[in-house]
Amino acid sequence: MTDDHQAPATPSAPSFLTAFFTFTALIIGLMSGLYVLEAGLHGLLLIAVALTAALGLWLGHSYHQLRKFIFGGIQKSAPALIIFLLIGVVIAAFIQAGTVATLIYYVLQILSPTTFLPVGLILCSLMSFTTGTSWGTVATIGIVLMSVGTHFGIPPGISAGMVIAGASFGDKMSPVSDTTNLAALSAETPLYRHIQSMRITTLPSYLLTFAGFLIIGMILNIESAQAIPSTTFIAALDNTFNLHWVTLGPLILMLGLSRFKVPAEAVLLLASIAAMCIAFTMQKFDAAELITSVFTGVNIQTPDPLLDTLVNRGGMQAMAWTLTLAIIAVTLGALLSSLGLLSALLLPLSQLMRRPAALITTSTIAATASTATLAEPYAAITLTGQVFKPSYQASTLDSAILSRTIEEGSTLTAALIPWTTTAVFYAAILGVECLVYAPYAILNWMNPLIGILFAWLGIGLRMPAPRA
């Protein structure tokens, strides 16, 4: 008697060539679709998901296995997806509480077109370092600085690049940042040794970024000598909102909770509730209007058309485009990782590179490729650390140098790749497309290049001995 229920065949592992051609086809397809056909990113990524799933079936995986890979990836990314929605709520609540208006009012008093970019860079860096989150920084003070930049007549792409560069620096160097801790963990290096290693390449990059924005600010000040007078705009702020230091309470609460390492979703929810209480008591918003704005965002009319465009935003509905794209991107990343395609591509490269400078260069590029492939930095950081850890251990390089290259290749470059969750989020919040702000996110592209340059010059290849 024969058994009709045979055990399923073991799926075959993808070869290097299979992985190479798969990633090459995906990248060319996405780039061609975006910049030649000018097609929507949602549809392009969905096609990529379907083709990758078909490859998985060809490799011997069952449909149910592929389904498990996809839902497993989405489950791991659930906290970030929830944060997407809560960011929309925070933006609406902070606007209605007058928090954003008060910040704009005071920033306008101290900034000019000349000082806006370098000082804004420092403000974003400090807030991101304090909170450990570049996303939260972009969604709060980033919106304020975008508004002030628009008021000064500074092109949105330049303002957005400055905000993202500052937020990325603070996030990268903060001991309470999730990506900073994850990179140290992936490379098996102590957290503060990882931060010490990053200073070698990041501080010179930051100084060059600061100098770049200082020069751009001086040039723009000459070109925008007829900057819009601030009197009308400030009057509109004053007539629309009750400007008071109390309205900064939700922001202070958010900073304080972040310093105590309260989970991000709890911080955003509590800050939103505090802001809505202030909006109800001080700004005299109707309770029904506040509750509705959680989903629909702010919808008010001010005495100034420019102010209208700056305050009518936020809400869960505004995050729908970002959220749906993130889900599709995470699905694609989960398939590529679970099918072993990324490991098949990177592992041979990590074993071939023995020279320290070549190994650093390869791991930095691999971290960027992983981020582009997986569409988010968290999985890319973990995977790159796992793949390159044996090669670093076999070389003379400290594990802190591996963690440094992971951050430079992943945390920073995620903002420069249009389909990653990070870039999609920044574009949605700031209202500027990735390719428009990318040239001005100077730190994000300069830091990886300086890290590679220093490696070939022999700078920063030795770390001080760990303290006893």
How many helical (H) and strand (E) elements, i.e. helices and strands, does the chain have? 24, 0
CA of 205: how far to CAs of 60, 171, 212, 412, in Å? 47, 15, 10, 12
Q: What is the pTM assigned to this prediction?
A: 0.71
- Is the model's pLDDT at 2 over the cut of 50? no
- Is the model's pLDDT at 160 over the cut of 90? yes
> In which band, very low, low, confident or very high, does the pLDDT at 206 lie, cut at 50, 70 and 90?
very high
> In which band, very low, low, confident or very high, does the pLDDT at 255 lie, cut at 50, 70 and 90?
confident
Q: What is the pLDDT of residue 58?
A: 92
Segment among 155-159, 363-367, 398-402, 464-468 with least mean pLDDT = 464-468
How far apart CA 29 and CA 49 sit, in angstroms, is 12
Segment among 92-96, 104-108, 282-286 with least mean pLDDT = 104-108
Once rounded to an integer, what is the mean pLDDT over residues 79-93?
80
- Quick one: three-class SS letters along 299-319? CCCCCCHHHHHHHCCCCHHHH
Share of the chain above pLDDT 90, in %: 24
**Mean per-residue pLDDT over the chain, rounded:** 83
Which residue reads 């304080």 in tokens?
256
Would you say 178 and 263 are in contact if contact means Cβ atoms under 8 Å apart? no
- Is the model's pLDDT at 331 over the cut of 60? yes
Backbone angles phi, psi at 116, to 5 degrees: -55, -50
Segment among 171-180, 272-281, 363-372, 424-433 with least mean pLDDT = 171-180
- Is the model's pLDDT at 39 over the cut of 90? no
Domain boundary assignment for the chain: 41-77+321-457, 85-318
- Is the model's pLDDT at 448 over the cut of 70? yes
Would you say 55 and 22 are in contact if contact means Cβ atoms under 8 Å apart? yes
CA of 377: how far to CAs of 141, 385, 417, in Å? 23, 12, 11
Once rounded to an integer, what is the mean pLDDT over residues 120-124?
90
Q: Which two tokens stand for residue 249?
A: 């309470």
